[in-house]
A and B are shown apart, each in its own frame.
Chain A
């Protein structure tokens, strides 16, 4: 196990917004090709942590290494090169509402590669088909339901065959059947294309299904890391309270 290559390495990352300290020294390693799930109470900084991994936030202290290079203090053009290896699914989808669904999915390819309109359209259709939304290619994001938007955002995230994929609550707001389709998709991207995936979720069914390893963020630090089996059988009171969803216990809402 110790031979495994590290894709992302987070060391001592701290981040405050004004006087609110959100991350208080996060240490986390993510191995190439693994699927890591990050759990933690609402508002504890999971989304903020994900945003650090792709350089959307700069840490106040600490470092984020991607394939061995520190992205926290990197110039902009190198950062864009690193970001091309990433895909990120935003919690609220963040679709471009001035574009059609198809254009949303193809925008990365359009900007970074020399492809014809027909090729872009075809690729968009292939990606949309994976999330079951090929019919919506000409629609506007405003014409879709929340769950459909999330699936379009997922198609956009994976359109450029990223090496590292960050999913911020991919199954929230989806019905159980669609959620399972998404779980399978995340798993198959990781298995078939050896993508490293990092998923933030509250949905424990989904977490157990897609995780190789689960980490818990609480009060700005990673307080637990373990395999699915370890998580299910742990004595850690924080993790136990979270996975069983009880109001009484050491974890209090942030």
Chain B
């Protein structure tokens, strides 16, 4: 299918989903189930990734400073880069892979086994019942997971700073507070909200497009992951421009 046609289909899906928003209350329980699955289910993965990301950021910063820049700025670099970039983007990519693939595979299987038609035949709007809860859960839970990931990454940076660079905890925290800006936190949150929406939407879109049995389900899962990763990176750039030259411009 051509890119224009895909964009059209995607717009239709989003349009239909927005029209089901007034019935969100009927879908609350399903949304909570999805939130639990996306949030709690992603924690082990996020703990490991963010912990090491923070550690690597600290070690890299110290290496590049090469003694020319005071050690306390290791904390500043880790703090800001995690809050603005590393936390939201890496969480988006890692959790996006996991969540996007599972949404696409689940909806894809439902599609090829006619379960989605069965919902529709029972006069249940499949978009309201399946897509809306996943979208809301993605847009809410990816930011929540990102907050958690940010904290862990900064903590991972501290451990690396103390353990392998030989800094004191006080120095690291001093650097962390020195350049801290609340707008960094907000811009990271806005990004991760967009990333969460992208992940859920790609999963649902490719899931619902599935045809052709088990093979088709696999193809949809791959497409969902690849496209959400690409869109996360592209939108990260666009958002960086937008957030820092408009919204949080000094």
B5 within 8 A of A: no
For chain B residues 110-130, which have a beta carbon within 8 Å of chain A? 110, 113-115, 117-125, 129
- Of B16, B110, B114, B122, the residue contacting A108 (CB under 8 A) is B122
Say whether, besides A76-B125, A80-B125, A94 and B117 are in contact (CB < 8 Å). Answer: yes
- Chain A residue at minimum C-beta to C-beta distance from B110: A96
Bound complex: CA A156 to CA B117 (Å): 14
User: A156 CA to B124 CA in the complex, in Å?
Assistant: 14
Q: Mark A53-86, 1 if CB is under 8 A from B, else 0.
A: 0101000000000000000000010001101101
Q: Which 3 A-B pairs have the closest CB atoms?
A: A94-B118, A94-B114, A83-B123
B88-117 to A contact mask, C-beta < 8 Å, 1/0: 000000000000000000000010011101
Rounded to whole angstroms, the CA-CA distance of A112 and B115 in the bound complex is: 18
What DSSP secondary structure best describes chain A's contact surface? mixed
Inter-chain contacts of B123 with A (CB < 8 A): 80-81, 83-84, 86, 108, 111-112
Of the A-B pairs whose beta carbons lie under 8 Å apart in the complex, a sample of 19, sorted by A's number, is A56-B120, A56-B121, A80-B125, A84-B123, A86-B123, A87-B121, A88-B118, A88-B121, A90-B117, A90-B121, A94-B114, A94-B115, A94-B117, A95-B115, A96-B110, A96-B119, A107-B124, A111-B26, A112-B123
**Residue A29 lies at the interface, judged by CB distance under 8 Å to chain B:** no
- The interface residues of chain B, by DSSP majority, are classed as helix
Contact of B121 with A86 in the complex, beta carbons under 8 Å: yes
**Distance A84 CA – B16 CA, assembled complex (angstroms):** 20
Complex CA–CA separation, A74 to B15 (angstroms): 17
- Given A92-B113, A94-B113: A111 and B122 within 8 A (CB)? yes
Q: A51 interface residue, CB < 8 Å from B?
A: yes
- Chain A, interface residues (CB within 8 Å), range: 20 to 34
Chain A, Cβ-Cβ closest to B109:
A97
Residues of A within 8 A of B122 (CB): 83, 107-108, 111, 156, 160
Please name the residue on chain A nearest to B125 by beta carbon.
Answer: A80
In angstroms, Cα B110 to Cα A51, docked, is 17
- In the complex, which residue of chain A has the Cβ closest to the Cβ of B123? A83
Binary flags per residue of A88-121, CB closer than 8 Å to B gives 1, else 0: 1010101111000000000110011000000000
Docked Cα-Cα span, A107 to B120, in Å, equals: 12
Q: Is the CB of A83 within 8 A of B114?
A: no
Residues of B in contact with A (beta carbons under 8 Å apart): 16, 26, 110, 113-115, 117-125, 129
Q: Interface centre among B26, B113, B120, B122, by most A CB within 10 Å? A: B122
Shortest B131–chain A CB gap in Å is 14
User: Which residue of chain A is the closest to B122 with respect to CB atoms?
Assistant: A108
Q: Which chain B residue has the least Cβ–Cβ distance from A98? A: B106
| In the complex, chain B residues whose CB is within 8 Å of the CB of A87 | 121
Interchain CB contact under 8 A, A56 and B124 = no
Q: Collect the chain A residues with CB atoms within 8 Å of residue B121's CB.
A: 54, 56, 83, 86-88, 90
Residues of chain A contacted by B124 (CB below 8 angstroms): 107-108, 111
Residues of A within 8 A of B119 (CB): 96
Contacts of B115 in A (CB 8 A): 94-97
CA distance A92 to B122 in the complex (A): 16
Q: Inside 8 A of A51's CB, which chain B residues have their CB? A: 117
0/1 string, A136-163, CB within 8 A of B gives 1 = 0000000000000000000010001000
Complex: A51 Cα to B121 Cα, angstroms: 9
Query: Cα distance A61–B113 when bound, in Å?
Result: 27
* Given A56-B120, A83-B120: A92 in contact with B125 (beta carbons within 8 A): no
- When C-beta atoms are compared, the residue in chain B nearest to A112 turns out to be B123
CB distance from A41 to the nearest CB of B (A): 21
A175 to chain B, nearest CB (A): 24
Residue of A nearest to B26 (CB): A111
